[in-house]
Amino acid sequence: MDLFTPSELIVVRHGEAAGNARGIVQGREPFALTATGREQARVVGQFIARIGWAPARIVTSPVVRARETAAIVGSGIGISDATPVEAFAEIDPGRAVGQPIADFSAAAGMEAHGGESVDSLYRRVADGLDALPRDEPLLIVTHGCVFKAVLAHLLDWRGDYWLDLRCGTCMRLMRIGSELHSFTHLIHPEEMRLD
């Protein structure tokens, strides 16, 4: 594949985990998916299969809730393995783990709590994306802030205003080189009706 041939990325946010349901900062702690989260992942897998997206393989955040989501989505599209990639892990929230999410400003990042800065997250995700092979369609299972950073990097957005994006559940990106060529289907849970 040359630099001018589009490559496909499908990005999926993990399903609801126990920490989401409690409204707390989860960080990289091993919060499992809830029953709702498992159903969300199942619906995403069905949706991807139904519309004919065909990733060759799955890469995932190494965090438990993302790996669980990857396994469920993968079963829906016939891919049994997912490769953990540290670049797509959740932002490190430092001492904020377990605290109410409403108490924290996303724009400030977690740096004030001994965690990762927004700029560090952006660079980590950008490096991870740029290191992915471009000769096969890939599905990435990750977290809300990483989901936003993927789109921001491919759109070459700077600063931290990209954190204000409404995070969807699934998006399909076509890139040429390291730039976004087309962006389709930003799917939210209320839009995923398969009945």
CATH at residue 186: 3.40.50.1240
Cα dihedral 129/71/65/162 (nearest 10): 30
Q: Look at the block and give the residue holding tokens 């800065």.
A: 117
Is residue 112 one of the residues assigned to a domain? no
Query: Between these two residues, 147 and 186, which has the higher pLDDT value?
Result: 147
Task: Tell if the pTM clears 0.75, that is, is over it.
Answer: yes
Please report which confidence band the pLDDT of residue 113 belongs to, taking 50, 70 and 90 as the band edges.
confident
* Residues spanned by the domain of 130: 7-15+39-90+117-191
Q: What is the DSSP string of 110-139?
A: SGGGTS--HHHHHHHHHHHHHHS-SSS-EE
Is residue 158 one of the residues assigned to a domain? yes
Non-local (6+) Cβ contacts of 161 within 8 A are none
Give the C-alpha separation, 12 to 190, whole Å. Answer: 15
Residues in the chain: 195
- Average predicted confidence (pLDDT) for the chain: 88
- In order of 31, 101, 161, the CA distances from 25 in angstroms are 11, 5, 21
Please report which confidence band the pLDDT of residue 186 belongs to, taking 50, 70 and 90 as the band edges.
low
Is residue 179 one of the residues assigned to a domain? yes
List beta partners, residue 171.
11
Is residue 186 one of the residues assigned to a domain? yes
Give the C-alpha separation, 77 to 57, whole Å. Answer: 10
**Average pLDDT estimate for 55-73:** 98
Is residue 33 one of the residues assigned to a domain? no
Report the 10 Å Cβ neighbour count for 93. 23
Question: Based on the structure, what is the number of domains in the chain?
Answer: 1
State whether residue 22 is helix, strand or coil.
helix
Is residue 21 one of the residues assigned to a domain? no
* Residue 188: per-residue pLDDT: 62
pLDDT at 66 over 70: yes
Query: Between these two residues, 1 and 182, which has the higher pLDDT value?
Result: 182
Is residue 72 one of the residues assigned to a domain? yes
pLDDT at 81 over 70: yes
State the distance between the two ends of the chain, measured CA to CA, in whole angstroms.
38
Please report which confidence band the pLDDT of residue 184 belongs to, taking 50, 70 and 90 as the band edges.
confident
Is residue 127 one of the residues assigned to a domain? yes
